[in-house]
Amino acid sequence: MTADDSYGRLNDDDYPAYTMGRAAEMLGTTPGFLRAIGEARLITPLRSEGGHRRYSRYQLRIAARARQLVDQGTPIEAACRIVILEDQLEEAQRLNAEYRRAAESANPTGTT
């Protein structure tokens, strides 16, 4: 792998670039919080060859949302479920918009 390949991966939201300690530091939380949301199956960090957890930027955004809810008093299990449902809703809305655009381009006059 060249230096250019490594740099390109760091721009990838799904590349597991952050150790547990660094991820916890970035989120202002503890490694225990990251383990708890992993146990709740909100995020599944990749494991290095040595077995250490590695997190992507996408996973850190998800974890940050869960932390926000927990900081507001939501139990961690409920916070994880809320974040999962929010993510599913966002994906469904994105797909719905794609289907609408496809239908509109297939029928530009607006008649059905």
Q: Read off the pTM.
A: 0.77
Return the number of other C-beta atoms located less than 10 Å from residue 78's C-beta.
Answer: 13
pLDDT of residue 13: 86
**Tens digits of residue pLDDT in 47-94:** 988 999 999 999 999 999 999 999 999 999 999 999 999 999 999 999
Quick check: 93 and 64 in contact, CB under 8 A?
no
SS3 of the chain: helix, strand, coil, percent, to 5: 65, 5, 30
Question: What residues contact residue 49 under an 8 Å CB cut-off, 6+ apart?
Answer: none
